């Protein structure tokens, strides 16, 4: 949670907005991305896996990434937090192999490849590469983690002869894009964008959410989160395919936040009513107010991206503030759901 808060705060400072920087020489601005991806999301995903495996050694991953994130947020300028992130992600690959050994399924293979992408990005970053050069590896880590989880649910649907060839083709193109990006960045961006577009179309076509959206309450809410997230993944694919590589500027801001805010946080909002209770050992309670953070998230992100494309700094700033407000509303609603559960099920 400290990674989430400091990461969002650092992102708002980058706009720039006149916010205080509580810790002298803190890395909140320069490490906005690593705090969000490795510190918050990496720790959360690895903690979820550790809870599922119930093996004490697997908790070393969130411990290592959590310590690294706290050190970076606290202002440590030495390289050791980057290497601790890297060691934690290496151990996460071992965790993924353990899961694959227990359940050898395509979904776990895809999530394991995501873990390898995380290690690759962290290793490049630890060895001195700049964030724009490694951010697509971090994007791949989160994308394949989410795709793998959604593959798990496709087994409840009637199989299609196109499902696996479509998916494997998109994954091969993605691997080619990441590999090509080092020697031919423009070609790598085109291949990566094409792969993301293929995966977005695959999720739109085969995801179980098209069935659960018909059911009221939590299933419908989760389905709306997922399907809206796939729209943002499509936008990410188009921005990367058309205008990558980028190291800064409005298109860079639009492409990354379409993915990390639009796609990833839509997935978080949708899965949190199930993941958080599983990790914390608390019951699931759905409230109709869960839609409010989602509406604010999508509305503010749309404003941000349109402002990026129109080169309107004021609109981009307001959109970014709205993104932060949406996350705050989400955390508040989640906390209230645990502290003050509804007296009767709310089906909306």
Helix ranges restricted to H, the chain: 2-13, 32-34, 43-53, 60-73, 80-102, 106-126, 131-154, 163-180, 185-206, 209-212, 218-243, 250-257, 264-280, 291-310, 313-339
**Confidence grade of residue 342 (pLDDT, cut at 50, 70, 90):** low
**Confidence grade of residue 25 (pLDDT, cut at 50, 70, 90):** low
Cα distance between residue 308 and residue 256, in whole Å: 12
Cα distance between residue 12 and residue 311, in whole Å: 17
Q: Per-residue pLDDT for 26 more than 80?
A: no
* Span 275-301, pLDDT tens digits: 777 666 766 677 888 899 999 999 999
Q: Per-residue pLDDT for 346 more than 60?
A: no
Q: Which of 52, 243, 240 is nearest to 149 (CA)?
A: 52
Q: Which of 92, 90, 38 is nearest to 65 (CA)?
A: 38
User: 322: which 2 tokens?
Assistant: 């709205």
In this structure, the dihedral spanned by the alpha carbons of residues 345, 263, 309 and 176, taken in order and rounded to 10 degrees, is -170
Looking at per-residue pLDDT, the higher value among 101 and 22 belongs to 101
Cα distance between residue 147 and residue 154, in whole Å: 11
Given a contact cutoff of 8 angstroms between Cβ atoms, the answer to whether 47 and 62 are in contact is yes
Q: Per-residue pLDDT for 345 more than 60?
A: no
**Angle 154-157-162 from CA coordinates, rounded to 5°:** 70
Could you give phi then psi for residue 285, rounded to 5 degrees? -130, 125
* Span 194-219, pLDDT tens digits: 999 999 999 999 888 888 898 888 88
**Angle 42-175-177 from CA coordinates, rounded to 5°:** 105
**Confidence grade of residue 230 (pLDDT, cut at 50, 70, 90):** very high
**Confidence grade of residue 334 (pLDDT, cut at 50, 70, 90):** confident
Q: How do the domains of the chain map onto residue ranges?
A: 1-129
Cα distance between residue 252 and residue 236, in whole Å: 10
- Chain centre to alpha carbon of residue 207: 18
User: Interhelix angle for 291-310 vs 264-280, to 10°?
Assistant: 150
Given a contact cutoff of 8 angstroms between Cβ atoms, the answer to whether 299 and 322 are in contact is yes
Given a contact cutoff of 8 angstroms between Cβ atoms, the answer to whether 125 and 34 are in contact is yes
For all residues of the chain together, what is the average pLDDT? 90
Cα distance between residue 206 and residue 18, in whole Å: 45
């Amino acid at each position: 949670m400290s990674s989430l808060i400091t990461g969002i705060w650092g992102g708002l400072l980058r706009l720039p907005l006149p916010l205080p920087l509580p810790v002298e020489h803190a890395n909140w601005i320069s490490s906005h991305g690593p705090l969000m991806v490795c510190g918050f999301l990496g720790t959360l995903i690895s903690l979820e896996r550790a809870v599922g495996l119930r093996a004490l050694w697997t908790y070393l991953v969130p411990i290592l990434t959590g310590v690294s994130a706290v050190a970076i947020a606290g202002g440590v300028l030495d390289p050791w937090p980057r290497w601790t992130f890297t060691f934690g992600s290496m151990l996460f690959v071992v965790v993924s192999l353990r899961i694959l050994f227990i359940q050898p399924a395509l979904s776990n293979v895809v999530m394991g490849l995501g873990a390898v992408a995380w290690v690759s990005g962290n290793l490049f970053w630890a060895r001195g590469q700049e964030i724009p050069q490694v951010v697509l590896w971090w994007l791949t880590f989160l994308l394949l983690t989410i795709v793998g989880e959604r593959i798990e649910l496709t087994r409840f649907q009637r199989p299609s002869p196109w499902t696996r060839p479509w998916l494997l083709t998109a994954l091969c193109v993605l691997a080619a894009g990441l590999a090509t990006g080092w020697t031919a960045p423009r070609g790598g961006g085109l291949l990566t964008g094409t792969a993301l577009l293929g995966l977005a179309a695959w999720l739109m076509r085969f995801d179980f959410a098209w069935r659960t959206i018909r059911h009221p309450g939590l299933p419908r809410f989760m389905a709306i989160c997922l399907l809206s997230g796939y729209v943002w993944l499509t936008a990410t694919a188009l921005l990367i395919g058309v205008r990558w590589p980028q190291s800064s500027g409005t298109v860079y801001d639009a492409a990354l936040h379409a993915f990390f805010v639009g796609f990833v946080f839509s997935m978080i909002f949708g899965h949190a009513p199930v993941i958080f209770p599983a990790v914390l050992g608390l019951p699931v309670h759905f409230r109709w107010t869960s839609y409010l953070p989602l509406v604010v998230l999508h509305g503010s992100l749309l404003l941000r991206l349109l402002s990026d494309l129109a080169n309107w700094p004021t609109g981009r700033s307001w959109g970014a503030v709205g993104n932060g407000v949406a996350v705050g509303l989400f955390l508040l609603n989640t906390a209230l759901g645990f502290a003050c559960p509804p007296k009767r099920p709310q089906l909306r």
